Chain A
Amino acid sequence: MKIAIFGDSFAAPLHDSKTDVGLKSWVDYLSEKYDITNYAVEGSSLYYSVSQFMTFNYPYDKIIFVTTSPGRLYLSGNTILEKHRHTHLSSLSYAEFIYNENKNKTDPESIEITKTAQAVIQYFTYIQRTAYDKFIHDLQIEHIKKIRPDIIIIPAFRIHHHVKSLSPCLYDITEMENTHWGIPLNYGSPDDSRRCHMSKENNLILAGIAERWLQGEPVNININDFVIPADDKSFYNIK
């Protein structure tokens, strides 16, 4: 069975900037049994994944689509951003990080990146409309469902305006682990070595559950299926 996976960091392969400490993600576990192509990218927007899906979904028997949060930006077609891997300036905090990293540099590419990051900051401050973002999020999900009615959609985040989306999401697993370790719920250090934001146990559990979804069971994330990590947070470089 040929499977394609689309989505954000909750499904993405290990980023090249991170050290491989030998931990496996739920996608890695599934790859041991199935022929999987992973199109997921850290920090990417729903639109990015939908575009990838529109281009590449056809040859696959099954599609797993992890839906990210609404409102992320995808800056396609800018060669400088592509070269520096900054096309997914998906949040205000990340844009501010990129801006601060580049603002004092004087080479033309850094100047371009600084200007773009500044435009993103201005966008999130003055132009972004959360209601609009939620609407287009839902429209895009409905659209991909029409193209592939058999698509397995796994929400990474809760979308509060939408009653159906109040059902649990992958982020709940991260939150449960963070609560256990007493770290902020939205903890997001680049040093965190958890794959797909989950401990090794929960990646393994999710792989097993995803396999049932691949066999036709309806998607339902039950937080009680997941466990408190056995290791201390330091095992994952969490301070």
Chain B
Amino acid sequence: MKVAVFGDSFADERINKREAGYKSWVELLREKYYPDLTCYGEAGSSMYFSYDLFLENHEKYDKIIFIMTTPGRLTIPKYIPFQRSNINCYMYHINSIQTAQEHLVNNAFLMTEPGTQATKAAIEYYKFLYDPVFDRRLHLLMKEHILEIRRDTVMVDTLGQGLSAISYYEFDSSGSRPAEMWKYRDRRMCHFSPRNNEILADKMFEWCNGTPVPSKLDLNDFEVPSKEELERLLVHDKNKIND
């Protein structure tokens, strides 16, 4: 069976690969269940980025897994030459004013002049133009459209008690976002510990086989990693900007 995965960092099997040293749920799903799995996930990407890829590619696949990112993200158009080299860093995805500011502070040397200007334009966009209601409505319209085209899509949300709640659960059993999270650089594969990537891969397989995706994931199905493991995967970063 040919399977495609679309989404953001919760579905990006490349990001953090070297630092984390273990496999993401995407790789595990491929290894255990679906050898012919293609992953289009890209860290930091917007809903439209994945939606557009879905529209272009979904017909090639028997099964679609779509990880819905958070609203309010931007992807700078492709016609703007953004980065100086084709490094594994997607700075043309901007998910908040803080991300844009961090790119300008920490990664300016990687950006072209138009890339820098576009990043500055994104900051102005978030300050003066961003309309969260508009963005949320379009987000939902894109979700509905995907499900209209492919009713059998395994649609998994990151917000609410979605994948982000598992990510937070690893710090805090309430599943809510820890206040100090912004200080850390998350090196976990897809924001999960090795064990939770394994659990999620199995759940994805079940969902691909007809078990409905729950609107709220049961956090008790997942495990809290040891403090030592978390400390290895979350690196305190003094250059991060508070969001």
Contacts and interface: CB of A to CB of B under 8 A. Distances in A.
Interface of A: 47, 73-78, 115-116, 118-120, 122-123, 125-129, 131-132, 135-136, 139-140, 142-143
Interface in B77-129: 77, 80, 114, 117-118, 120-122, 124-125, 127-129
Contact of A127 (B121, B134, B142, B145): B121
A139 B129 contact: no
A126 B121 CA distance: 7
A79 B215 CA distance: 37
A175 B235 CA distance: 61
A127 B127 contact: no
Given A116-B128, A119-B129, A135-B48, A127 B138 contact: no
25 contacts: A74-B131, A75-B129, A76-B133, A119-B124, A119-B127, A119-B129, A120-B128, A120-B129, A122-B124, A123-B125, A126-B77, A126-B80, A126-B114, A126-B121, A127-B74, A127-B76, A127-B77, A127-B118, A131-B52, A132-B48, A132-B52, A135-B48, A135-B52, A136-B141, A140-B141
Contacts of A135: 48, 51-52
A195 to B, nearest CB: 30
Given A118-B124, A139-B138, A123 B52 contact: no
Nearest to B122: A127
Contacts of A143: 141
A61 B219 CA distance: 49
Contacts of A132: 48, 52
B46 to A, nearest CB: 9
- Nearest 4 A/B pairs, CB to CB: A122-B121, A119-B124, A119-B128, A126-B118
Contacts of B118: 126-127
B54 to A, nearest CB: 11
B61 to A, nearest CB: 20
A115 B80 contact: no
Nearest to A118: B124
Counting chain B CB atoms within 10 Å of each CB, which of A118, A127, A139, A142 scores highest?
A: A127
A116 B141 contact: no
Contacts of B125: 119, 122-123, 127
A76 B131 contact: yes
A119 to B, nearest CB: 4
Nearest to A45: B134
A82 to B, nearest CB: 13
A218 to B, nearest CB: 24
A102 to B, nearest CB: 14
Counting chain A CB atoms within 10 Å of each CB, which of B122, B127, B128, B133 scores highest?
A: B128
Contacts of B114: 126
Contact of A73 (B74, B129, B138): B129
A142 B117 CA distance: 35
A115 B128 contact: yes
A115 B120 CA distance: 13
A140 B137 CA distance: 9
A216 B161 CA distance: 47
A129 B117 CA distance: 16
Given A122-B121, A139-B138, A143-B141, 18 more contacts: A47-B134, A74-B131, A74-B134, A75-B129, A76-B134, A116-B129, A120-B129, A122-B117, A122-B120, A123-B121, A123-B125, A126-B114, A126-B117, A127-B74, A127-B118, A132-B48, A139-B142, A142-B145
Contacts of B133: 76
Contact of A123 (B48, B80, B129, B131): B129
